[in-house]
Amino acid sequence: MKNKWSCLAIACLATLLLSLDLTVLHLALPRLVTDLGASSTQLLWIGDMYGFALAGLLVTMGNLGDRIGRKRLLIIGAVAFGAASVVTAYAPSAELLIAARALLGVAGATIMPSTLSIVRNVFTEPGERTAAIGIWSGMSAAGFAVGPVVGGLLLDHFWWGSVFLINVPIMALVVAGGIMVLPESRNPHAGRLDLTSVALSFTGIVIAVYAIKEAAHKGLEHADVLGAGVAGIVLLALFAWRQTRLAEPLIDVRLFTRRAFSASIVTNLLAIFAMSAMMLMFAWYLQLVLGWSPLQAGLAQLPGGLSGAVGGIMAARLIRHLGRNGVVALGLAMNAGSFLYYTTLTAELNYLALLPVMVIGGVGVGFAFTVNNDNVLATAPRQRAGAAAAVSETAFELGGALGIAVLGTVLTSAYRANLDLPAGVGGEAARESIAGAMGMAAGLPAEQADQIVRAAQAAFMEGVHLTSFVTAGLLAVVAVLALVGLRGVPKVIPEEVLAGAHS
């Protein structure tokens, strides 16, 4: 196909914007308190609602694209995303902003699996397919890194809604280019969507993600958190059971018997679990310990994110020499090494020493995610590419939520355990988080404030060291699992691997 690289460019543009939209709002949250009077609970929902709707509908929308056409669904989703962005930007209240973010999530769920399944159907030659998925994965990683930078630049000059209006011209390009360039593809033998499966999938994933996020804020001991977690697991178990009884399931559970598919899904989930810790940890470290502005912090993390794109492009060539399991294991080992370095960070940062470590870790991310995404798509039939892409993206969302909940709790617990406030100083806010300590110190005399800030920063660095050590160990274990779990998967996975050759 002459225009296949143009198709990849359109898919990457849409993916870049979706990834950017997950992080661009973070810097705007303080302004929402001032401009909309948003409460702390509303701020959480504003931040989380997009991810809830996105994660809950990925499987459904991936299957819908297989049935009605991936190009058609992508175009519909892009138009809806642009319209929802305008509604979000001009939301007059916190309640309407939460609703608008839900609409953005629904639209995003139509786009994300469509882009990856289009790439799978356009690039049929195995080597080119791996390279194309590497570029796609790199753009996704770049979006996460660019989000805080774009947000910081816009917020320096415009109001908070500008971070959403940037979506409109980009989505207009996606729609125009998609209509002209993208080929249509669908599953010619797809049956009707099973609405019971849709309901079980959506409610199970949303409740599970909710439970994970609430566990990060409240802890596992709360009854509502445990109840939501159990309910989510039961609903997802019922969903999986139902798929085995349907002639046209939303997810062909037999794919999980193929080692290349199941090992890649699990490895990706655990890898993003670990990587989410870095995003959380560095956002706090650079701003609250080093005192950098949000824009400075975003720019500082940019090389690490952009190097993920480089790793994605390099991965296809490395497979020839190291095999698929070797490339994934190498990428995860590089990440483990970078986290070991983070255990040496102090309140006095040598950024020039940190920079190459961040780049090495970013390249490793590109290695792992590219090969795993290619494994997932290559071992699923082309006519079910949307459903396979949705499974991969859902694992990504669940892994990110789990990482924030579990490793965020490790960071917070270590902070509280090591916080040594000056004698006679109380305050629950300071014991809750380093941000609370900074806020409390702002209203105290200079000498006392300095003591609190130093104590909070010292305790936080202990948390950074422990979290980095735990994450490095986890990544090392996952690297070994990938080396073993993906052993025997061919360097070149031919089209339509339907037999369980490497099950």
Q: How far apart are CA 445 and CA 31, in angstroms?
A: 27
37: left (phi over 0), alpha (psi -120 to 50) or beta: left
**Per-residue pLDDT, 459:** 87
CA contacts within 13 A on the Cβ side of 299: 8
**Per-residue pLDDT, 497:** 45
Mark 46-84 as b/e (b = at least 16 C-beta within 10 Å): bbbbbbbbbbbbbbbbbbbbbbbbbbbbbbbbbbbbbbb
- For the cut 50, the answer to whether the pLDDT of residue 501 exceeds it is no
Q: How far apart are CA 60 and CA 273, in angstroms?
A: 23
Residues 6+ away with beta carbon under 8 Å from 97: 32, 36, 38, 46, 88, 91
Give the mean pLDDT of 314-326: 87
Choice between 75 and 414, residue whose per-residue pLDDT is larger: 75
State the average pLDDT for the chain.
80
Q: In the structure encoding, which two tokens stand for residue 162, read together?
A: 């500008």
Give the mean pLDDT of 314-335: 89
Residues 6+ away with beta carbon under 8 Å from 368: 267, 268, 271, 327, 328, 331, 332, 335, 482
- The confidence band for 338, taking pLDDT boundaries of 50, 70 and 90, is very high
- For the cut 80, the answer to whether the pLDDT of residue 384 exceeds it is no
Choice between 133 and 385, residue whose per-residue pLDDT is larger: 133
How does DSSP classify residue 38? -
- E-strand stretches of 387-495: none
Q: Coil, strand, or helix at residue 192?
A: coil
**Per-residue pLDDT, 476:** 92
Of 190-199, 316-325, 454-463, minimum mean pLDDT range: 190-199
- For the cut 80, the answer to whether the pLDDT of residue 138 exceeds it is no
* Residues listed for the chain: 503
**Per-residue pLDDT, 397:** 72
Give the residue from 363, 364, 362, 342 showing the smallest Cα distance to 353. 342
Choice between 312 and 381, residue whose per-residue pLDDT is larger: 312
Sign of CA dihedral 35, 44, 389, 66: negative
CA distances 222 to 82, 214, 227, Å, are 39, 9, 9
Question: 227 and 233 in contact (C-beta within 8 Å)?
Answer: no
Of 329-338, 382-391, 404-413, 482-491, minimum mean pLDDT range: 382-391
Of 199-213, 434-448, 479-493, minimum mean pLDDT range: 434-448
Give the mean pLDDT of 332-358: 90
- The confidence band for 79, taking pLDDT boundaries of 50, 70 and 90, is very high
CA 381 to chain centroid: 25
Give the mean pLDDT of 287-291: 82
- The confidence band for 383, taking pLDDT boundaries of 50, 70 and 90, is low
Cβ neighbours around 481 below 10 Å, total? 18
Choice between 31 and 133, residue whose per-residue pLDDT is larger: 133
497: left (phi over 0), alpha (psi -120 to 50) or beta: beta
Give the best-scoring range by mean pLDDT among 50-59, 114-123, 332-341, 367-376. Answer: 332-341
Q: What angle do CA 86, 90, 95 make, to 5 degrees?
A: 110
- For the cut 90, the answer to whether the pLDDT of residue 431 exceeds it is no
- The confidence band for 385, taking pLDDT boundaries of 50, 70 and 90, is low
Of 129-143, 334-348, 354-368, minimum mean pLDDT range: 129-143
**Per-residue pLDDT, 30:** 63
Q: In the structure encoding, which two tokens stand for residue 314, read together?
A: 């390099």
Give the mean pLDDT of 132-139: 79
- The confidence band for 500, taking pLDDT boundaries of 50, 70 and 90, is very low
- For the cut 80, the answer to whether the pLDDT of residue 47 exceeds it is no
Sign of CA dihedral 205, 206, 207, 213: positive
Give the mean pLDDT of 176-184: 86
Give the mean pLDDT of 146-175: 83
Q: Global pTM? A: 0.78
Cβ neighbours around 224 below 10 Å, total? 11
Q: What angle do CA 387, 390, 394 make, to 5 degrees?
A: 145
Give the best-scoring range by mean pLDDT among 100-109, 253-262, 292-301. Answer: 100-109
